[in-house]
Amino acid sequence: MRLYFVRHGIAEDLATSDFDRELTKRGRRRVANSAKVMKRLGIKPSQIYSSPRLRARQTAEIVADALGRGVTLSEAVNFGFDRADVRRLTRNLSADDEVMFVGHNPDMSILVSEITGVDLSMKKGGLARVDVIGRAVDEGELVWLIAPKVFDALQDSAKPAAATSGGKLSTPAQKLPATAQPLHNLIKHRWSPVGFNRERDIDRETLLSILEAARWAASSANLQPWRFIVAPRSDAAEFQKALSVLKEGNQTWAQYAALLIIAVAHRYPKPDYRHAYASHDLGLAVGQMVMQALDHGVYAHQMAGIYPEKARETYQIPSEFEPFTAIALGYRSEGLDHLGESQREREAAPRQRKALSEIVFTGSWARPAAFLSAGKA
């Protein structure tokens, strides 16, 4: 089990009672920053217990909001919080669970010191991660202790860099392109995984950004012939519906994606006008979507393997639109035990490409462009 201990953020000195001391503006801001970093660290407590004192509760609520969790107020985490309280509060949790406690000093620092055997003092807004074996919460290892200043620095480093704003990318070495040419970081890292993280969902903000990227693609005559049917895993019924439209081979791995999208082309903008470039434009929009997703650390796998007519029926898609492809999106999973042998092999295989000389010509068909040869302009 993984235990997270958070000391409340900076609070007002004065209030009608100690119980009602609120976080200061700075305290709130810092906790909000820390919470964003906690999210990036992938902290996912199944329970967040907070002392009912206002400054702890506000701290817990800001963190819980960022992590998409709820808060349980508990007197146990109030002054006097100790090992017996941790035992009681974790009694019904499983060995794989993560749990967070938001409370006060000196009890929090004393408690973490007792569990880990490390003499430490937690700053306001600080966070300690303690791993224990199974559910034996009396003794554990201090994995790290983050002071608020470090959170601030980590938050700064998460701000968009010039080229890539960098959600966390986790492309394995064999999937990076074997090329001497400089490529944009996102192009380098894009590939089509089958191993998706089965727990981490794509939040609304990220999803909107991904869809917005598609919206701003170029298109022939600005006809914008793309339409997207979106099914997040969190909506089990919709997700199943979208999954059922995929060919079975794709279902085997796409079932673990965080999100499925059915991409549809507007093929007949007018009854007598077939838009020949609709699929080109749809592909372009999906291309932008894929790159924007990767900028958030979300990987995409496109699929032609769908049943278009089943999609039409399932979603009552009018005849002037053509269900075209599907896209599975999600964070990557390092562990691939949930996949079959062939999929694991696929994940381990290097990516192959035709040589530029096979695809870039000058003068006449299939004559490789002269500039491709070394030493030529």
Ligand X SMILES: Cc1cc2nc3c(=O)[nH]c(=O)nc-3n(C[C@H](O)[C@H](O)[C@H](O)COP(=O)(O)O)c2cc1C
Of 2, 34, 24, 7, nearest in space to 106 by CA: 7
Q: In what order do the strands lie in the sheet with 2-7?
A: 72-73, 47-50, 98-103, 2-7, 127-131, 141-146
CB 52 within 8 A of CB 207: no
CA atoms of 164 and 67, how far apart (whole Å): 24
* DSSP strands (E only) in the chain: 2-7, 47-50, 72-73, 98-103, 127-131, 141-146, 226-232, 259-266, 299-303, 321-330
Tokens describing residue 100: 């967070």
* Residue 303 touches ligand X, criterion: CB under 6 A: yes
Of 136, 122, 111, 108, nearest in space to 34 by CA: 122
Q: What are phi and psi of 199, to 5 degrees?
A: -110, -30
Among 15, 84, 221, 304, binds ligand X (CB under 6 A): 304
Among 113, 192, 220, 279, binds ligand X (CB under 6 A): 192
Among 33, 34, 74, 250, binds ligand X (CB under 6 A): 250
Q: Is the bond preceding residue 323 a cis peptide, omega within 30 degrees?
A: no
Query: Which of the ranges 27-35, 75-83, 213-221, 303-311 carries the binding residues for ligand X, by CB under 6 A?
Result: 303-311
* Residue 302 touches ligand X, criterion: CB under 6 A: yes
Query: Which of the ranges 36-44, 129-137, 208-216, 296-304 carries the binding residues for ligand X, by CB under 6 A?
Result: 296-304
**Rounded to the nearest whole angstrom, what is the least distance from the CB of residue 350 to ligand X in the complex?**
10
Which is closer to ligand X, CB of 25 or CB of 351? 351
Which is closer to ligand X, CB of 191 or CB of 239? 191
Among 166, 172, 305, 368, binds ligand X (CB under 6 A): 305
Site for ligand X in 308-367 (CB under 6 A): 325, 351
Which is closer to ligand X, CB of 115 or CB of 246? 246
Which is closer to ligand X, CB of 51 or CB of 325? 325
Binding residues for ligand X (CB under 6 A): 191-192, 250, 302-305, 325, 351
